[in-house]
Structure 1
Amino acid sequence: MRADLLALPRTLYSAGYIRAAEPILAHRLGIPLYRVMEAAGQAAWERVKQQWPIATRVSVLCGGGNNAGDGYVVARLAHQAGLTVKLYQHRPFERLTGDADRAQQAWLAAGGVVEDLAAKWDEADLCIDALVGSGLKGPLRAPMAEVVARVNRLSIPILSLDIPSGLNGETGAVESEAVRATATLTLVGAKPGLLTGRALEHIGTLWFAPLQLGDEMDKVDIQAEGPLAETVVLLKPDRLKQWLPTRSQASHKGDHGRLLVIGGNEGMAGAARLAGEAALRSGTGLVAVNCHRDSVVPVQFSRPELMVREWGALASAQKIPWADALVLGPGLGQCPAALARFREALSVPSPMLLDADALNLLAASPKKRTQQDCNWILTPHSGEAARLLGQSVAKVESDRFAAIRALQQRYGGVVVLKGAGTVIYDGKEMALAVVGNSGLATGGSGDLLSGIIGGLLAQGLAPMQAACAGVMIHGEAADSALAPGPRGMLPSDLLPEIRRWVNFEVI
């Protein structure tokens, strides 16, 4: 996990929650909100000095809201320190309002000049983005979108205050243009919208400044319902030691779970094999693969520790009760025989994970596990999620948090929405795992994740714990296997790293 993300707090708050909580906390603590704005500018200035100590020319780009006020404060501090500061304001002849106006007047009183954002910008060593804050809804309008496009053509570092301009603070979606920052300093509360989907392409290094209010954020009751009131847990690798079961020196293979992987249709033996070995590498005691008859030899020959049986009603009926948990889907296909395996597996109450074609078959015949029987885990990527919800991939990616809520409500259990900034949700708790890299963008990576989570489920972890731990192990293993780069990284390259992570060798 990236060092900057490790430094973030575990509890993330939506941008809307933070906006609603700020005045309540400020009033309770007797702190004028202008002092919070001053602290934001000071925190940004400290980062500038620390990160870009040789910068002497700074451009500060301001919009028309409180985000602009933060920009005015950091501009004044840099100017007072002797730097050459050029401040460009959208509609420069219009006064700002509230605390932002007070910050603007303090800049003017210090000898600062406000120039037109639409004019030509002087050369600079650093650009500070204070254009649009976290309250943006929808795409940027044409003038501001053009400004953001200009920012992205700069060849100097860009520091965004609170959020890269153009990014949706709630969802992380980019509906038109958004600043591609070198670094982002997010303020008061760390926001989950910065850590999933396309937002990860825009934030650069992410820093957090709680200011005077952040440490009190969990003490606010803003009487909200739904997404606004929902916090998100940022998963960190040290949780693995809490989740993974201890192993007795006197234990035997039967003590560490029995997993059945159902998949491996003709020509797709590798998917079931990868899932099976990933389960073994995660510590599962016994793993069996139930696959097409033409896949039996390839699976067993490549990994003799796996028990293998061909498809067929008798073989499956004998094996399903044997297993503590099932993984259904890797290489399953959607032919009549695959559909029979799917229906057979769903007829039993065993804990199970559904992935790949099992999700496509589920989309065709939706079924929900009730609260009393919600022991399954669904692991869709955005394409599979779109089919499960009957909507477009673009719709899913426009709000990954809304998509996972809808998936869990429709199908029950635990849902893992894979992708950049994987989101996990069980209907009560939302978790976010910012691990992994683009090397995972190859066939078979999802099969590994299925095997890891399924193996942990077989070892006795509750579904939400198994899902969270499995996502972390999978992503951290990918990051450990990254050298010499993401291109050409194979899913099988992760297998030794999975073993290291479940044994805490790298925590």
Structure 2
Amino acid sequence: MSALTITLPQSLYTAAQIREAEHEAIHRGQCSQYDLVEQAGSAAMAILDSLEKSDCRTLVLVGKGNNGADALVLSRLLLARGNTPRVALLAAGKTPEHAQALKAYVNAGGEIENFDEDLLAEAEVIVDGMLGTGVAGELSEPLKQCIEAVNEQRAWVLSLDLPSGVNANTGNIIPVAIEADVTLCFGGLKQGLFTSRARHFAGTVMYASVGLGEILAETQPAAQRVDGGFLKDLLGRRARDSHKGKSGKVTVMGGNYGMAGAVRLAGEACLRAGAGLVTVISRPEHQLTVNANRPELMFWGCELVDMEVYLRLGWADVLVLGPGLGKDDWAYNLYKAVGLSDKPCVLDADALNLLSKEPCRQVNRVLTPHPGEAARLLGVTITEVEANRFDAVRKLHQIFGGVVLLKGAGTLIYDGNMLIVAPVGNPGLASGGCGDVLSGIIAALMAQGLETMTATVAGVVIHGEAADLAAKDGERGMLASDLMPFIRQLVNSDLI
């Protein structure tokens, strides 16, 4: 029996890396290709047992490759248990392992059927063994129809290795994919499972090493996954002689006409994440909005970028530019002033749109684009960005430098050396102001002394974990300001 775990590894791999690990295991004489298939099928059986699904009326959908072979092994094991699954072969097998698994299943008394949508109506459990990592280009029309028919059912769905239709490397789907309740990933976790459309289709991800753990431990991962555990022991207790000047100073700039709330949210998030002093530079008429319920924020009303603005840039340890900034002359002058500063900076929102018009590379800054802003920075469409978020974040760093944080379902963070995937948060974050809060958190952590990449990753995790805590009353209708008390809780998590 292969190792089976709900606690997921941090390392993420491409489909090619998993294939290379399989070949290496075979080359070392540790197993045969069919041994891997047997281990995968056994792990799937263990999942059904652990979730009390092994006695349910089961339909197994079998593809032509080794993902289908895995499904056939599972079918044989179900049969041995006394469960008679309905097994539908969607295409003739194409691998020796498929033929061997099919023969073993038939010899055990199993029967093979052609796929018919009527089979779906009787199923309580559907096992998806159609494609796995075998997505290449557009799906055939019969396969698309099968996937759509499965998704219309109310049966519980287990996908083997990957939901059929999901790209293992990008998380994108072409153009449909199985909506799984559980995805059991074999060998190593595929990087695409934790970002883009796959966040919706994968359901709960579980993992079975199938004997490849030792070899993959020798392989440099394509990316690393982070979750709430990243925050453990990150900040620690403050020194008993701390004072506000030692706790980090941040200047937040933005809030053009009608957008005062953006800088207000970013400024408060800075304070809640532990910054000692925060100054907001915005339109003069926005002081009441900024200070009415948060008098702890300092404020400077700016009509023109004058010496007072430059003094506040020099005073800060970290700058934030972009929340509610706009793109008029006032916004552009603030953007140029920040460009003359040597202070670390978090650029968000319209600061990124201004950067797209005057591209420049800089080391000590964090860029926080959502897919639309990333598309403008790269001169491509949003569809192209989302088709391969991993490529997009690398290209953004190549052009602009610093640390790049590509927002979305499964945020990506890249500094030129390490690529982090943060599958944190929930759809409640899809509301105005949440990005401003994130920028404030990151800046506060940088101002408190965390290295830029670490502060960015921690900021994303705090933001996502705070959203999960805030969503206890529901994701729909959750506001950016609802995150504030939980931000404070999370930056003090070492004390809980």
TM-score range for the pair, normalised by the shorter chain length:
over 0.9
**Which residue, 294, 314, 319 being the options, matches 1:321?**
314
Please give the TM-score of this superposition, normalised by the length of structure 1.
Answer: 0.94
State the partner residue of 2:281.
290
1:382 and 1:291 map into 2 onto residues whose CA distance is 26
**Which residue, 243, 253, 273 being the options, matches 2:264?**
273
1:244 aligns with 2:242: no
Q: Deviations over 1:271-305 (max 9, x none)?
A: 10110110001111111011111112221222110
1:365 aligns with 2:388: no
- Structure 2 spans left out of the alignment, 5+ residues: none
Residue 50 of structure 1: how far off its partner (Å): 1.8
Residue 15 of structure 1: how far off its partner (Å): 1.6
**Which residue, 111, 114, 120 being the options, matches 2:112?**
114
8 Å CA contact 2:6, 2:206 repeated in 1: no
8 Å CA contact 2:233, 2:494 repeated in 1: no
**Which residue, 392, 410, 413 being the options, matches 2:399?**
410
Q: Deviations over 1:429-476 (max 9, x none)?
A: 000111111111111000000000011111111110110000000100
Cα gap change, 1:148 to 1:406, in 2 (>3 Å): same
Please give the secondary structure, in 2, of the residue aligned with 1:494. helix
Cα gap change, 1:174 to 1:105, in 2 (>3 Å): same
8 Å CA contact 1:259, 1:458 repeated in 2: yes
Stretches of 4+ aligned residues off by more than 6 angstroms: none
State the partner residue of 1:200.
199
8 Å CA contact 1:55, 1:125 repeated in 2: no
Residue 149 of structure 1: how far off its partner (Å): 1.1
2:215 and 2:292 map into 1 onto residues whose CA distance is 58
State the partner residue of 2:348.
355
Please give the secondary structure, in 2, of the residue aligned with 1:487. coil
1:441 and 1:260 map into 2 onto residues whose CA distance is 26
Cα gap change, 1:54 to 1:64, in 2 (>3 Å): closer
Cα gap change, 1:96 to 1:54, in 2 (>3 Å): closer
Residue 54 of structure 1: how far off its partner (Å): 6.6
**Which residue, 454, 458, 465 being the options, matches 1:469?**
458
8 Å CA contact 1:90, 1:118 repeated in 2: no
Residue 117 of structure 1: how far off its partner (Å): 2.2
**Which residue, 460, 471, 475 being the options, matches 2:449?**
460
1:181 and 1:326 map into 2 onto residues whose CA distance is 43
User: What amino acid does structure 2 have at the position aligned with 1:271?
Assistant: A
Cα gap change, 1:506 to 1:460, in 2 (>3 Å): closer
State the partner residue of 1:13.
13
Residue 183 of structure 1: how far off its partner (Å): 0.9
8 Å CA contact 2:428, 2:467 repeated in 1: yes
1:119 and 1:355 map into 2 onto residues whose CA distance is 49
1:332 aligns with 2:325: yes
Cα gap change, 1:506 to 1:135, in 2 (>3 Å): farther
Q: Deviations over 1:14-67 (max 9, x none)?
A: 122111221112322521121111011001011112213473321110110010
Cα gap change, 1:428 to 1:174, in 2 (>3 Å): same
2:233 and 2:295 map into 1 onto residues whose CA distance is 32
Please give the secondary structure, in 2, of the residue aligned with 1:87. strand
Q: Deviations over 1:406-449 (max 9, x none)?
A: 11111000000111111100011000111111111111000000
Aligned length: 490
User: What amino acid does structure 2 have at the position aligned with 1:421?
Assistant: G
Residue 214 of structure 1: how far off its partner (Å): 2.3
1:179 aligns with 2:172: no
Cα gap change, 1:102 to 1:506, in 2 (>3 Å): farther
Please give the secondary structure, in 1, of the residue aligned with 2:471. coil
Q: Deviations over 1:383-405 (max 9, x none)?
A: 11111111111111111111101
Residue 12 of structure 1: how far off its partner (Å): 1.1
1:90 aligns with 2:81: no
Identity of aligned residues (%): 44
State the partner residue of 1:104.
102
Cα gap change, 1:23 to 1:235, in 2 (>3 Å): same
2:411 and 2:223 map into 1 onto residues whose CA distance is 12
User: What amino acid does structure 2 have at the position aligned with 1:7?
Assistant: T
Which moved further from structure 2: 245-254 or 384-393?
Answer: 245-254
User: What amino acid does structure 1 have at the position aligned with 2:87?
Assistant: L
Please give the secondary structure, in 1, of the residue aligned with 2:296. coil
Q: How does 1:417-456 map to 2 (within 5 A)?
A: 417-456=406-445
8 Å CA contact 2:369, 2:406 repeated in 1: yes
8 Å CA contact 2:5, 2:208 repeated in 1: no
Please give the secondary structure, in 2, of the residue aligned with 1:138. coil
State the partner residue of 1:309.
300
1:302 and 1:340 map into 2 onto residues whose CA distance is 29
- Structure 1 spans left out of the alignment, 5+ residues: 221-228
1:64 aligns with 2:53: no
User: What amino acid does structure 2 have at the position aligned with 1:436?
Assistant: G
1:325 and 1:245 map into 2 onto residues whose CA distance is 21
Residue 84 of structure 1: how far off its partner (Å): 1.7
Residue 137 of structure 1: how far off its partner (Å): 2.4
8 Å CA contact 2:117, 2:149 repeated in 1: no
